[in-house]
Amino acid sequence: MKPIKRRKSYSKEYKLDVIQQSYVRENIKELAEELGLRSELIYRWRREYHDDKDTSFPGQGVEKQSADQQELDRIKKENEDLRMERDILKKAIGIFSKKNG
């Protein structure tokens, strides 16, 4: 049976350090070999960071979101919670009004 190969994860700080080194070094392939990485990975990290410095490398399984998108998601969740509370209160009022009337 084949051993399970786990996917490596790197911290945001590590990625930023590698990106910084890649701009200083002339040969990215040599840097990648020294660090035990694929050069394609370094280029991808550089591209992601260049495209959006604020939301690059958010963490494991965390979707990249702008501050506006995060606020919108928070408001949608709050709205959903309030609707559920309203529906529960409507049902409770219906139940209590039947018992009293």
| pTM, to two decimals | 0.53
Residue 21, judged by CB atoms within 10 A of its CB (0-12, 13-18, 19+), counts as middle
What is the C-alpha separation between 35 and 84, in angstroms, rounded? 51
The string of pLDDT tens digits covering residues 24-77 is 988 999 999 999 999 999 999 888 888 877 667 766 655 666 778 888 889 999
